[in-house]
Amino acid sequence: MAKTIAFVRSPGPSFNEAISSNLKNQPIDIKRACLQHESYISALKEIGLDVISLPSADEYPDAPFVEDTTVVFDHIALACPNKEKSRRGEGPSIHKEIKKHITMKALPPSANLDGGDVLNTEEKIFVGISSRTNLEAVNSLAKFTTKPVIPVKVIRGLHLKTSVSYIGNNIIVLDPSSIETTSLRTFKWIETNGHAANCLAIGNIVLISKGCTEEADKIRLKGFKTREVDISEFEKADGGLTCLSIILKKI
């Protein structure tokens, strides 16, 4: 049977130098981050995913946020041209692993794209126009998919998926005050103003940030199972549950 693979990368000793909008008040506890990352991997394995775990890349503090390096569509993976200089070297070592499983192409350097800005749904692909991702990325991505690729303005927060996640059955979990929602009106909404907006749905199971109990209740009422995962150390560096993996469904 075809397996789903999750590519992840553990935090290294430099993780407390990760880019953050709030680090001054909240220093990262690396030991705790490592334990939380191990729990995240366990959760993925319990769901039934094959986890490919890359060694930490100490010269790149943000390297555990692997999602930003790669976008995966059905039959192709795309290397993201990251805007943030300190993150540009993260890709090659992870792309080397991904290429063993799926064809990879590069987007042109005129595109700026972080994977955290790409929200893939059954019918459409939404791309956050954020401080990291430009309109050129929208045009470039459109060449690799038959789905419409739709830009969405990010008003607040790092990426589009900081503020909206698709969980299946036409349902999104979102903070509507942080993104331009016009193009998202056809979905059913579960609203939040917290970390629940970045949750990771794998089949019928939704991983959600620890403490988001109200949102988890609402998600279960829609027929999903939920599992709370504590990633507080990663949230200090503006990351969420989707950021910590690249999910590849083998077809």
Which spans of this chain sit near ligand CIR (rule: CB under 6 A)? 18-20, 62, 65, 67-68, 84, 87, 115-116, 158-159, 162, 237-240, 243
Q: By C-alpha distance, which of 242, 20, 16, 12 is closest to 120?
A: 242
Query: Cβ 15 to ligand CIR, closest distance in Å?
Result: 10
Which one, 65 or 144, has the nearer CB to ligand CIR? 65
* Other residues' Cβ atoms within 10 Å of the Cβ of residue 40: 23
Which one, 21 or 204, has the nearer CB to ligand CIR? 21
Which one, 20 or 36, has the nearer CB to ligand CIR? 20
Which one, 30 or 222, has the nearer CB to ligand CIR? 30
Helix (H) or strand (E) holding 37: helix 30-47
Q: Are 239 and 197 in contact (CB under 8 A)?
A: no
Query: Cβ 116 to ligand CIR, closest distance in Å?
Result: 3
Mapped onto helix, strand or coil, the DSSP state of residue 247 is strand
Q: Are 80 and 91 in contact (CB under 8 A)?
A: yes
Query: Cβ 1 to ligand CIR, closest distance in Å?
Result: 29
Q: By C-alpha distance, which of 63, 54, 83, 52 is closest to 158?
A: 83
> d(Cα 244, Cα 237) in Å, to the nearest integer?
12
Q: By C-alpha distance, which of 117, 108, 115, 185 is closest to 151?
A: 117
Query: Cβ 148 to ligand CIR, closest distance in Å?
Result: 22
Which one, 10 or 20, has the nearer CB to ligand CIR? 20
Query: Cβ 46 to ligand CIR, closest distance in Å?
Result: 23
